[in-house]
Amino acid sequence: MATPLTGSQLLAALRAEGLVVHEVRDWRRHNRNTKGPWGPMHGVVVHHTATEGTDASVDVCYDGRPDLPGPLCHGVIDKAGEVHLVGNGRANHAGLGDRNVLQAVIDEEELPKDELADTDGNRHFYGFECINLGDGQDPWPEAQLLAVERASAAICRAHGWGERSVIGHLEWQPGKIDPRGFTMDALRARIAARLSHPPEGPASPDAQGRPDGTGDGTGPPADSAGGGAGAGGGAGGDDARNPPVPPMPQHPPYEPFPGAEFFRSGARSPVLAAMAQRLIAEGCDHYRHGPAPEWNEAHRKSYASWQRKLGFHGKDADGVPGRVTWDRLHVPNTRAAGDA
Summarize as ranges the residues that interact with Zn ion (CB under 5 A). Answer: 47, 169, 178
Our CB check for Zn ion shows the closer of 178 and 255 to be: 178
For the bound state, the minimum distance from the C-beta of residue 112 to Zn ion, rounded and expressed in Å, comes to 19
Measure the CA–CA gap between 191 and 153, rounded to whole angstroms.
6
For the bound state, the minimum distance from the C-beta of residue 131 to Zn ion, rounded and expressed in Å, comes to 13
**Contact residues for 124 (Cβ-Cβ < 8 A; gap 6+):** 39, 40, 41, 42, 43, 94, 102
Our CB check for Zn ion shows the closer of 168 and 199 to be: 168
Our CB check for Zn ion shows the closer of 164 and 169 to be: 169
Residue 199 φ/ψ region, left for φ over 0, alpha for ψ in the -120 to 50 degree band, beta for the rest: beta
Measure the CA–CA gap between 68 and 129, rounded to whole angstroms.
15
For the bound state, the minimum distance from the C-beta of residue 114 to Zn ion, rounded and expressed in Å, comes to 12
Report the candidate in 158, 120, 174 with the shortest Cα–Cα distance to residue 166: 158
**Contact residues for 308 (Cβ-Cβ < 8 A; gap 6+):** 156, 157, 160, 161, 162, 195, 317
For the bound state, the minimum distance from the C-beta of residue 133 to Zn ion, rounded and expressed in Å, comes to 13
**What is the four-CA torsion angle of 232, 299, 106, 77, rounded to 10 degrees?**
0
Question: How many other C-beta atoms can be found within 10 angstroms of the C-beta atom of residue 42?
Answer: 22
For the bound state, the minimum distance from the C-beta of residue 96 to Zn ion, rounded and expressed in Å, comes to 13
Peptide bond into 179 cis (omega under 30): yes
Our CB check for Zn ion shows the closer of 94 and 298 to be: 94
Report the candidate in 43, 273, 308, 20 with the shortest Cα–Cα distance to residue 146: 20
Our CB check for Zn ion shows the closer of 5 and 46 to be: 46
Our CB check for Zn ion shows the closer of 4 and 168 to be: 168
For the bound state, the minimum distance from the C-beta of residue 146 to Zn ion, rounded and expressed in Å, comes to 20
Our CB check for Zn ion shows the closer of 47 and 301 to be: 47
Give the max Cα distance, the chain: 69
**Contact residues for 216 (Cβ-Cβ < 8 A; gap 6+):** none
Our CB check for Zn ion shows the closer of 159 and 169 to be: 169
Which residue type is seen at 278? R
What residue spans of the chain are helical by DSSP H?
A: 7-16, 54-63, 99-107, 121-124, 142-159, 169-172, 184-195, 235-241, 270-281, 297-309, 323-329
For the bound state, the minimum distance from the C-beta of residue 13 to Zn ion, rounded and expressed in Å, comes to 22
For the bound state, the minimum distance from the C-beta of residue 14 to Zn ion, rounded and expressed in Å, comes to 20
